[in-house]
Structure 1
């Protein structure tokens, strides 16, 4: 050792520090790389991505070769620094101690902290660059890696820790939703909204989007023939529920276009019975995603929602569900009116039958949706009575005024702007 020049020892120390920096950065980059972008590039045939993916598929071997290399390099750095100090400061114990501290500082800054920060900032670039030498080192030191992993596996079994089957664990629905939320700037605004709405389908039921019972336009076969024709020829919907005497006695669903094959004098109750299709009933509180699948499997576009007693609660169409995903695209019937209308003073006139979920989404409100589904229901629950017109209240931080009540329900509510 005494024959080796000081300059060679210094060069060896610098080489060890750089090598240690490579292993430290490679470890951080391999663990921090985006696995989904990596999988995408791997499928596209990116060679560096394929090498990196192959290394990550055997994480225990990858970490073993990195840690093995880093341990040997750091040991070499300590040995070389001791030799250099002994040659330069022979007999001076204080100088030798100071040089050891300086080398430790150099390892911490140049071989650990800095390369790890760089690798965490640019994990993909660093990992792709490091993948080739790491692959060669893994082949070269495979016997040593295998020997080390024997002890690692034994310790894991002793601690009763098991490697997940299939490698990386699958993401839960909530984690996928968070992934979509955080990737908003990389996805078109409309596509981003659609993806988020898809995750909400499992939390929304048919009760949240259905047309309430009292707003359903139905054909009553018990009405006089002239009145029946008038209802059929002036309807605003392509599909109509058909009842007999009472809305609870739903007989079927009529496609209005089928009437085009009949003369006017042929349109009667018997013709409607022949042309209508059997009723498709939907249990209350069915999740929207499940109902979307049911519509597809049963080749239906409209269903009658019934409660636990079999009584009519409302009506749901395929369009109602699709609008929860992509937004409104159908035209409401003239008698349906607007759910909310902005006034000159900045306030809104709200329909009492408006869905709380719809108001929250369109007006950025925070009405509770775990109870009543409509604004009318929420206010009635709050008062436990039918309030008089002109009554003011505060719900979920919003100032409201009852404008009109009719037939034991609230028809119109004014929402005042926040001050």
Structure 2
């Protein structure tokens, strides 16, 4: 249902852009879509004695495929009806349901994690240097993710000067997903469970990477830059010694 909504939204937006620039030409081209929807409706209404008196839609409805729609979008770009970025966004919607989590995740080698035995000051430094709002916490090895540490939880303890025996006391449950999970299904799960970050695991249960809601949204709308994004950012892991 979510994928269908995305496709409908994208098509509505694209058609509005295309038609507004060349009304007469697109009126003729979009006649095929009228046939697609009106013909099946005529079949349903026939038993009730309701029919198209003008007989304009008596022909069999033409089946419009995904390739037909892509061709329509390509033609519009060539004729200046839509911009290249707009075409890319529409095509991204079509590909959305076939994309796997492993294709959009931040790979293991680029993931910043914190060892559960890291001191409070070093953990605070990790958040300040990275600009992230939440980080995975591991014990001994990155494959052993214990949970997620939120910056707001850590900074609250830091500000109030409360004693903290271990970062373990602040951890929130991590959400684990297989790397072969389709991102439309993942998006639905993350929205329904109010999850912003998921730990991606491989077929052996090892940590394969991380995926966020932002990563999924970027598959349609493109790269989203914020004040913390940099052209290049070297990954690092914080151990209990702060190295």
Indicate conservation of the 8 Å contact 2:137/2:148, yes or no.
yes
Indicate conservation of the 8 Å contact 1:225/1:269, yes or no.
no
Indicate conservation of the 8 Å contact 2:35/2:61, yes or no.
no
Q: Which runs of 5+ in 1 are unaligned?
A: 1-30, 41-50, 60-166, 339-350, 354-419
**Alpha-carbon distance in 2 for matches of 1:186, 1:335:** 34
Q: Report whether the alignment pairs 1:58 with 2:55.
A: no
Indicate conservation of the 8 Å contact 2:124/2:155, yes or no.
no
- In the TM superposition, residue 303 of structure 1 has moved relative to its aligned partner by 0.7
Match of 1:266 among 143, 162, 165: 162
SS in 1 for 2:145: strand
Indicate conservation of the 8 Å contact 2:36/2:61, yes or no.
no
- Structure-2 residue corresponding to 1:193: 88
Aligned length: 193
Q: Report whether the alignment pairs 1:246 with 2:141.
A: yes
Over 3 Å counting, the alpha-carbon distance change for 1:54 and 1:218 in structure 2 is farther
- In the TM superposition, residue 332 of structure 1 has moved relative to its aligned partner by 7.9
Over 3 Å counting, the alpha-carbon distance change for 1:182 and 1:297 in structure 2 is farther
- In the TM superposition, residue 240 of structure 1 has moved relative to its aligned partner by 0.8
SS in 2 for 1:285: coil
RMSD over aligned Cα, in angstroms?
A: 3.6
**Alpha-carbon distance in 1 for matches of 2:229, 2:57:** 61
Q: Which runs of 5+ in 2 are unaligned?
A: 1-27, 38-50, 236-243
Q: Report whether the alignment pairs 1:177 with 2:174.
A: no
Indicate conservation of the 8 Å contact 2:73/2:87, yes or no.
yes
Which structure carries more relative contact order (alpha carbon 8 Å, separation 6+)? 2
- Structure-2 residue corresponding to 1:83: none
Match of 1:311 among 176, 184, 206: 206
Larger Rg: 1
SS in 2 for 1:200: helix
Q: Show CA shifts across 1:223-256 (max 9, x none).
A: 3455334334444211111112211111112221
- Structure-2 residue corresponding to 1:409: none
Using the size of structure 1 for normalisation, the TM-score is: 0.40
- Structure-2 residue corresponding to 1:151: none
- Structure-2 residue corresponding to 1:87: none
